[in-house]
Amino acid sequence: MSLDSIAREIAKMQEADFDWYQNPATIRKKINLQPEDMHAVMLLKYKGKQIFLRFFPDPVFWPSENHVAAALKRLSNDTIPRIYATTGNLERSMEKTGEREFNVYSLMKTSRAALINHGFEFDTLNLQQQQIPADITTLVLADPKVVLNDTVTARLKQYINTGGNLLVLGEPGKQHVLNPLMQNVGIQLMPGTLVQISKNETPDKVTPFVTMDHSWLLKENKHFGEDIRAVFEEGDSVKVLHPGAAPLSFSDSNFKVTRLMVTGPKGYVWAKAGQLVTDSAAPVMVAGEGDYKQDSFNVALALNRQTGKIEQRIVVVGDADFLSSMRFGSHEFGRNYLSWMNYESYPIAIENIPVIDRMLTVSLKAAKTQKIILVWILPAAFLILGSVILLRRKRQ
C-alpha cells in the first residue's frame, strides 16, 4: 500500500476527514520540521519575526500559559536571554542527553520545563578559541574537570571584571580547577566532600536547607517565595538533594553575598578529606585524616554588586549533579538561578488570580437558617408525614 492509501485507511478508522491533512511533500515545501523532530508545533509570526510554540508528549499535551507568554514576549521584544555554556575543559554538556548532562534542564524541546521552551536561547563557547560575545546575558561554567589555561582564565576574569553574570557549578575533587578564578570574587570551594549519614541514601547525598534569604531572591515569581515561607511559618523546612557537594566559603569583597543553600545545624553534615567511599560501611569522621565539621556548610551562594547602571549577579554552587538530567526534581532551583541572573525577564511568572464566586449571594445568617430548615425541619416534616400515612393505611 502507498503512504496515501495508508493515511486514508487510518483517517477512516479514526472517523476523520482526510481532506483536513496534508501529505509530507506538501508540508516540506512550507516548513522544515526536522529540527523539531517532526513533533507538533505552532509557528507564531509577528513583524518579520517567528518562533515555535511547542506541544509536549505528555498527558497535558498543550503548552501552558507561561509557554505562550514567553513566546509572545519573544516576538514583541528584542531582548533575548542568551546563555552561553563553556566547552573545551570537559564541562557538563547542554546538548548531550546522558544522565549527568544538562539537556533536560536546558535544550530538550519535548520537555515543558526545559528553559528553551521558556524564552531562553542557548549556545556553547570554547574560550580557548573564542572571545565572549557581546550579546551574552549569562555565562555557565559547569563542572570543568581540567585546569583552566591562561587564555581561558584571562577571558573569564575580564568577563567578571566588566560586570558579566555567571553561573559556576563545582564538584568535590575539582576545587583546584575553580578556586584560582573564584578567589577574585571572594569565594572558595573548601576541601573535601560533604557527608550526610542517612537511613536510605549513600553518604554523599546531602540535603541542604533553602534559606529565608533564598525565598526573597525572586521578586516577580512570588509563588516560589510564598510557598517556601509558608512552609517556614508552619515550623517546617525545605530541603533539596545535592548528590556529591563541595562546601563553599566566602570572604569580604565588593560583592554582597546571599546564602541560598546551607546544611543543617549541630554539625550532622561533615566534610571528608580525600576519597569518599559510598558503597561500603558508613564513613566515620577522622579528624587526624583531615576530616572536619562546622555548625553549617554553604552549598549555594548568590553574589551581586552594582557595576554602572547594571547589577552584576553571580551564583556559585558546590554541586553540578542537581541540574543533571536524572535530577529533574531540583531543576526549579536552577531555573530560578538563571531567571535571577537575567533579571527575571524569563521565565514568565504567571500569577493565578483566585476565582471569586460571584453567583452565590446568600449571607452567613441566611445560610444558617437554610441549614436548619434543610437538615432538621424538612426531614422531620417528611418523617411525620410518612408516619401519619403509614398509620392510616394500617388502620384501614
The residues near 83 (Cβ < 8 Å, ≥ 6 apart) are 106, 115, 120, 121, 122, 123, 136, 137, 138, 139, 140, 338
Burial of 280: CB neighbours in 10 Å, binned 0-12, 13-18, 19+: exposed
Is 206 in contact with 272 (CB distance < 8 Å)? no
- pLDDT for 87-110, tens place per residue? 999 999 999 999 999 999 999 999
Residue 77 grid coordinates: 521584544
- Residue 239 DSSP code: B
What's the pLDDT score for residue 320? 96
CA–CA gap between residue 334 and residue 325 (Å, rounded): 12
Residue whose C-alpha cell reads 581561558 in the numeric block = 152
- pLDDT for 266-294, tens place per residue? 778 999 998 898 888 889 999 999 999 99
What's the pLDDT score for residue 22? 87
What's the pLDDT score for residue 279? 85
The residues near 359 (Cβ < 8 Å, ≥ 6 apart) are none
Residue whose C-alpha cell reads 547525598 in the numeric block = 205
What's the pLDDT score for residue 103? 95
How does DSSP assign 138-206, residue by residue?
Answer: EEEEE---S---HHHHHHHHHHHHTT--EEEE--TT-HHHHHHHHGGGTEEEPSSEEEE--SSS-TTEE
Cα-based distances in Å from 319 to 211, 283, 316, 327: 17, 20, 9, 12
In the chain, at which residue ranges do the beta strands (DSSP E only) sit?
A: 41-46, 49-54, 82-87, 121-126, 138-142, 166-169, 187-189, 193-196, 205-206, 209-210, 242-243, 248-250, 256-262, 269-272, 292-293, 298-307, 310-317
Is 204 in contact with 353 (CB distance < 8 Å)? no
CA–CA gap between residue 298 and residue 295 (Å, rounded): 10
How confident is the chain (396 residues) per 10-residue block, as mean pLDDT?
Answer: 88 90 88 90 93 94 95 92 96 94 95 95 96 96 96 96 97 96 95 93 94 94 91 93 96 94 88 90 91 94 94 97 91 95 93 78 88 93 91 83
- pLDDT for 30-56, tens place per residue? 889 999 988 999 999 999 999 999 999
What sign does the dihedral 36-37-42-48 (CA atoms) show? positive
